[in-house]
Amino acid sequence: MSIDVHVHPWTRAFMKKNGPIMKACGFFKLDVSKLPTSTEDLLEEMDEAKVSKAIILGQDAHATRNPHFKNYTMKNDALREISRNSRDRLVPFAGVDPNAGEAALRELKRAVNELGFKGLKVHSSANSVYPNDRRKMDPLCGFCEEAGVPILFHTGTTGLGDCDIKFSKPEHLDEVAQRFPDLKIVMAHFGWPWPDVAMAVALRNPNVYLDLSGWRPRYIPAGVLPYLNGILKDRFLFGTDYPMMRQKEWLDDFESSMKPRLRPGVAEKLLRGNARRLLSA
Ligand SMILES: [Zn+2]
């Protein structure tokens, strides 16, 4: 059984209302008619792919000025409902809009302390906010560090349209990790096209993790493998980016293309051990 740390609980109807997400479907060359229609579809897929748990990621752009993101927000209460209906197999990370100031911190506290959320997701490009923005981000990072819950940051390029990738460069997270040494940080998509920078940030900051989501294992650049097999073996996480990449598709590809190249014990760490430590579960 494995733990998928990067799942969007999106349905086709939700995706169709969002121009930037539809552009991502084009980026991933997806057949829109095969997108999930409910979160039941996700749970069925998890059973089939032998995924025991998945982190579902929130998103909030209600205070972001970019008009393309006006339908992007998913309420944390909706994620909580989805999680509850899954009998806790779907582990929610909150979405808050860093542009909302004190209201963002209040909502994050409510999500973690009252609703039982296990982390925060930040898509810096969707919110047009740098992760090392002291005024907008430090209060959120400080709270998560204190509460012992991780932040998963989108890093690197994005399939989402109508936003800028400059906000998601992995180098910004070095500053965050240095400022908040006990904060657990996940750099999604291993920061591609800057995987070397992302891995360098992880090497000097022991609480920084990287997920492999959004990539079929066979296409993951060869330069990543020595780190996954070696000095960063405790830091890589299995993630799909569902529904952009499907769990069975990822895991089948992994079995044939990547697993044979891994040292003993590394697959277990990647597929679940490291995620358990991340979630302190
Ligand atoms: Zn994603």
Render pLDDT for 86-128 as a digit per residue (tens, 0 to 9): 988 999 999 999 999 999 999 999 999 999 999 999 999 999 9
Distance 143 CA to ligand 1 centre (A): 23
Q: Write down the pLDDT at residue 142.
A: 98
Distance 72 CA to ligand 1 centre (A): 13
Question: Which parts of the chain have pLDDT scores under 70?
Answer: 281
How many residues appear in the chain? Answer: 281
Distance 271 CA to ligand 1 centre (A): 18
Contact 209, 202 (CB under 8 A): yes
Q: Write down the pLDDT at residue 117.
A: 98
Distance 154 CA to ligand 1 centre (A): 7
Q: Could you state, in order of their start, the residue ranges of all structural domains in the chain? A: 2-278
SS3 262: coil
Distance 6 CA to ligand 1 centre (A): 6
SS3 151: strand
SS3 5: strand
Distance 95 CA to ligand 1 centre (A): 13
Question: How far does the chain reach from its first CA to its final CA, in angstroms?
Answer: 15
Q: Could you tell me how far CA 26 lies from the centroid of its own chain?
A: 20
Q: Write down the pLDDT at residue 88.
A: 86
Q: How far apart are CA 246 and CA 156, in angstroms?
A: 20
Q: Write down the pLDDT at residue 281.
A: 61
Q: What share of the chain is helix, strand, coil (3-state, %, to 5)?
A: 50, 15, 35
Q: How far apart are CA 221 and CA 215, in angstroms?
A: 10
Distance 204 CA to ligand 1 centre (A): 25
Distance 7 CA to ligand 1 centre (A): 7
Residues forming a β-bridge with 185: 151, 208
Neighbours of ion ligand 1 (CB under 5 A): 241
Distance 213 CA to ligand 1 centre (A): 7
Distance 241 CA to ligand 1 centre (A): 5
Distance 110 CA to ligand 1 centre (A): 23
pTM for the model stands at 0.97
Provide the edge-to-edge strand list for the sheet that holds 90-95: 2-7, 51-57, 90-95, 119-122, 151-154, 185-188, 208-211, 236-237
DSSP codes, 220-256: S-GGGHHHHHTTTTTTEE----BTSS-HHHHHHHIII
Domain 2-278, CATH among 3.40.1350.10, 3.30.300.20, 3.20.20.140, 1.10.472.50: 3.20.20.140
pLDDT digits (tens, 9 = 90+) for 169-206: 999 999 999 999 999 999 999 999 999 999 999 999 99
